[in-house]
Each structure stands twice: as structure tokens, then as C-alpha cells.
């Protein structure tokens, strides 16, 4: 049945027919509590009425015109992002990797525009994940993702994540920018220390190095603030956003400060679909919902409750679980038991979670999840651990 697809995803069996809120319903009629949310994408759950309304209303007007013409919805969304973040300018695209690529181009273009084309190298962190395009795999330098694909080093260096001395050793006169996930996602949910990020910011300021944050996974409310950097006390110059931004509709965005954005002159970059009216209609509705004053405060109290309960679960299962990590609703459970096996047993018990590095699992519920649904997940996890 799947033989016409490239084999890169393997052959998963489980298929879903529809979803509502925190639940997905499989084609054979089973209900699953979804703490994967399309890998941190469906931030308002499945088929949120406001997103469905925004999408269908726009679908009845116009779907696509291209960037040859003005798209009012993209200007509206850019203004909202500007209002709620450090950004002066925004570029819209369709995925996380594209948002990161745009950031890489901005970093190099900035130094090029200063007549310093030799400053073109970008430093990433060990354990990073930035996507699957050629530049983003070269940046993250995960051998599993690079094998057979790269020519040369593509202009990237790497420092040990969280280690400022390692970063100082790697940075030289050719360094143009540094890319960091303030909360690493694929590598297990790891929040970078505030003092480390402050030291990186200082280093960048001293040497005119562009600081870029990849908030593709931790952004758009996932960490408990619109962007995670807002809780971590360090503002970037460029930020990649995607995943939750479209609540399930493909959207990416690259946010930038004016000084860098100004170098991206007409014709320097582009995307056929980026900023498309359908995507913009949905993303505007997502941001309107998340930026309501009560939204993030409710998320904070639910997150606190959930993490407290998870900590109790760890206390009663010290042989099986190690620690709870992360911020907001970006939660990692570090395990002693095998994380792949835990994911599949939870799935057998109708709870969907995502595996991550460092023998951990990711719990990524809808940001607007109900307390009762958190309790349901806790009870499934507890039962699975009891039977281990
Ligand atoms: N950056 C981070 C931190 C991510 O977690 C991901 C995807 O998981 C990406 C970039 C790539 O996003 P996409 O798969 O939309 O290209």
C-alpha cells in the first residue's frame, strides 16, 4: 500500500481519521489522547473552531496570489509578531527548515553588506536540530542525518551546547553568526541556562556576531511565553519560528531586527507559497488566541500542576524515570527504562507521545488542554509504569 512513498519514514500502521481538541480518532474507531500534537504543531488541539472558521472563510475568498501582489493578512500577522516580540521585520515561509535557512541567509548577507564576505561561518551547538535541508543538516552536524548528503562543511562550525568556553574557542574572525535552540527539542527537552545565554549575547555584541535563536519547536506559546527567549532574559537578532505558528497549517517565519533585515533587498530571497492567504488567515487566528491575556496564564497554571504531578510520579518510580525537564507545555521525561518501549506501551494504552534524544520522551499536549485531560494522561502513564 505504501510502496509508492519514499521509504524515509518507514511504514507506520496507525492512521487517523479525524481529531477534536486533545483527541485523535483512528480509522478503526479507537480514541487516542494526543500528547504528540503533530510534534508540537497543533498548539490549539485538533480542529479548533476559530482556526476552522478562519481557514474556511479564507478558502471561500482566495487561496493563493503569490508575492507579486500585496497580501494584507501577512502584513497583519507581521505587525502582531512585531508587537509581541523583538522583531522589526518578518519573512514568511512554509516550514521550520525554511525559516532557519532564511536566518542563515540574513546572517551572511549582513556581513557581506559590510564588505566582509570572509565572515560567513555559522556556529551551531552539539545536539542541535534545525531541519532536513542541506544547510540545516550541515549546521546541526548529526551524522545520522548527514550521511551521504554533504559536500564539504558548508560553512558551519560547532561548539558544545551550554559551554561558553567551548564557544569562545570555536569563534574566530570568520564567525558571522551563532544559532541556538534556547530549548533543545529533538535532543531531549533541554533548557539552556540563562547565564550561558547571557554570556553568548555578550560575546555576540562584542564581536558583531549575529545571534539567532531557533524557536521552531519551543516558540508560539509552547514554552509558556510567546517565544521562549522572553523568559530567558536574552533577546536574539534573528529568530526562526514555525510548527505551532500555523496550528497545523504549514507556516514558517523568520523574525529579524531592522539592521539585518535591511540587507535583504528586493529580489534577494523569496518563496512562492510563503505568506499565502490561507496560511496567514490561520496563523493570525493562532496568534490572536495565544496572545489573549488569560491564555498563557492558564497554560502556566496547568503546566505547573502537570509538572508537579509528574515529579510525584518520578518519586514513586525512581527505577523507571529520572527527571522532568522543559518549560510550559514543552515537557521532557528523562527515563531509566527504554524510551522507545515506553512510547509504544503508552500508545498501546491510547496516549500518544514523542520520543526524543537522551533516552527521554516528549509530552507536547495542546496548549489549551483541560486539567481533566492532563489527569487522564497522568493516569495512563502511572498505569503503564505500574505494569512495567
Ligand atoms: N528547528 C527545530 C528546533 C525543530 O524542532 C524542527 C523540526 O522538528 C525544525 C527546525 C525543522 O522544521 P521543519 O520540519 O518544519 O522543517
Q: What is the CATH number of domain 7-47+294-386?
A: 3.90.1150.10
Give the start-to-end residue ranges of the domains of the chain.
7-47+294-386, 51-290
Handedness of CA 337, 303, 86, 92 (dihedral sign): positive
Q: How far is the CA of 96 from the centre of ligand 1 (A)?
A: 5
Cα separation, 345 vs 336, whole angstroms: 15
Q: For 247-290, how does the pLDDT look when each residue is reduced to its tens digit (9 = 90+)?
A: 999 999 999 999 999 999 999 999 999 999 999 999 999 999 99
Q: For 99-111, how does the pLDDT look when each residue is reduced to its tens digit (9 = 90+)?
A: 999 999 999 999 9
Per-residue pLDDT band at 3 (split at 50, 70, 90): confident
Q: How far is the CA of 52 from the centre of ligand 1 (A)?
A: 24
Within 6 A (CB) of ligand 1 lie: 39, 95-97, 100, 129-131, 181, 185-186, 214, 216-217, 242
Residue 364's pLDDT is what?
98
Instruction: Report the predicted TM-score, pTM, of the whole model to 2 decimal places.
Output: 0.98
Residue 110's pLDDT is what?
98
**Fold classification of 51-290 (topology level):** 3.40.640
Residue 131's pLDDT is what?
98
Ligand 1, from 125, 140, 181, 216: best to mutate by most atoms within 8 Å of Cβ? 216
Torsion of CA 59, 64, 65, 69, to 10 degrees: 80
Q: Is 87 helix (H, G, I), strand (E, B) or coil?
A: coil
Per-residue pLDDT band at 1 (split at 50, 70, 90): low
* Protein residue with its CA nearest to atom 1 in ligand 1: 130
Q: How far is the CA of 127 from the centre of ligand 1 (A)?
A: 13
Q: How far is the CA of 79 from the centre of ligand 1 (A)?
A: 24
Average pLDDT, the chain: 97
Ligand 1, from 9, 39, 97, 191: best to mutate by most atoms within 8 Å of Cβ? 97
How many Cα atoms are found within 13 Å in the side-chain-facing hemisphere of 11? 5
Ligand 1 atom at shortest distance from the alpha carbon of 184: 3
Ligand 1 atom at shortest distance from the alpha carbon of 39: 8
Which residues have C-beta within 8 Å of that of residue 41, sequence separation ≥ 6?
A: 243, 244, 246, 247, 248
C-alpha cell at 382: 502511572
Ligand 1, from 138, 217, 241: best to mutate by most atoms within 8 Å of Cβ? 217
* Protein residue with its CA nearest to atom 12 in ligand 1: 96
Q: How far is the CA of 185 from the centre of ligand 1 (A)?
A: 9
**Helix (H), strand (E) at residue 31:** strand 31-34
Contact between 289 and 366 (Cβ < 8 Å):
no
Amino acid at each position: 500500500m505504501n510502496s509508492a512513498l519514499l521509504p524515509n519514514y518507514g511504514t507506520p500502521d496507525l492512521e487517523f481519521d479525524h481529531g477534536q481538541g486533545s483527541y485523535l480518532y483512528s480509522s478503526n474507531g479507537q480514541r487516542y489522547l494526543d500528547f504528540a500534537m503533530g510534534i508540537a504543531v497543533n498548539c490549539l488541539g485538533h480542529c479548533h473552531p476559530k482556526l476552522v472558521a478562519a481557514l474556511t472563510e479564507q478558502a471561500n475568498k482566495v487561496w493563493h496570489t503569490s508575492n507579486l501582489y500585496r497580501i494584507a493578512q501577512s502584513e497583519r500577522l507581521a505587525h502582531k509578531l512585531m508587537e509581541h516580540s523583538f522583531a522589526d521585520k518578518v519573512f514568511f515561509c512554509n516550514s521550520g527548515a525554511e525559516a532557519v535557512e532564511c536566518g542563515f541567509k540574513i546572517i551572511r548577507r549582513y556581513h557581506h553588506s559590510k564588505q566582509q564576505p570572509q565572515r560567513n561561518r555559522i556556529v551551531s551547538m552539539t545536539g542541535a536540530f534545525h531541519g532536513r535541508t542541506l544547510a540545516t543538516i550541515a549546521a546541526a552536524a548529526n551524522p545520522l542525518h548527514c550521511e551521504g548528503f554533504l559536500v564539504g562543511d558548508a560553512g558551519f562550525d560547532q561548539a558544545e551546547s551550554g559551554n561558553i568556553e567551548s564557544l569562545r574557542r570555536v569563534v574566530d574572525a570568520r564567525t558571522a553568526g551563532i544559532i541556538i535552540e534556547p530549548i533543545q527539542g529533538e535532543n531531549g527537552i533541554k533548557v539552556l541556562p540563562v547565564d550561558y545565554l547571557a554570556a553568548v549575547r555578550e560575546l555576540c555584541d562584542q564581536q558583531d556576531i549575529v545571534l539567532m535563536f531557533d524557536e521552531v519547536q519551543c516558540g508560539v506559546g509552547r514554552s509558556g511565553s510567546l517565544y521562549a527567549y522572553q523568559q530567558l532574559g536574552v533577546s536574539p537578532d534573528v529568530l526562526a519560528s514555525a510548527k505551532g505558528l500555523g496550528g497545523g497549517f504549514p507556516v514558517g517565519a523568520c523574525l529579524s531586527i531592522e539592521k539585518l533585515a535591511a540587507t535583504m533587498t528586493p529580489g534577494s530571497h523569496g518563496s512562492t507559497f510563503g505568506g499565502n492567504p490561507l496560511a496567514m488567515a490561520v496563523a493570525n487566528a493562532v496568534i490572536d488566541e495565544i496572545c489573549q491575556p488569560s491564555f498563557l496564564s492558564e497554560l502556566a497554571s496547568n503546566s505547573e500542576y502537570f509538572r508537579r504531578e509528574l515529579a510525584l510520579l518520578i518519586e514513586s518510580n525512581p527505577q523507571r524515570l529520572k527527571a522532568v525537564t522543559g518549560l510550559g507545555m514543552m515537557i521532557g521525561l528523562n527515563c531509566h527504562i527504554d524510551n522507545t518501549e515506553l512510547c509504544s506501551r503508552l500508545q498501546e494504552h491510547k496516549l500518544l507521545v514523542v520520543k526524543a534524544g537522551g533516552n527521554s520522551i516528549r509530552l507536547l499536549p495542546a496548549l489549551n488542554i483541560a486539567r481533566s485531560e492532563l489527569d487522564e494522561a497522568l493516569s495512563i502513564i502511572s498505569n503503564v509504569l505500574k505494569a512495567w
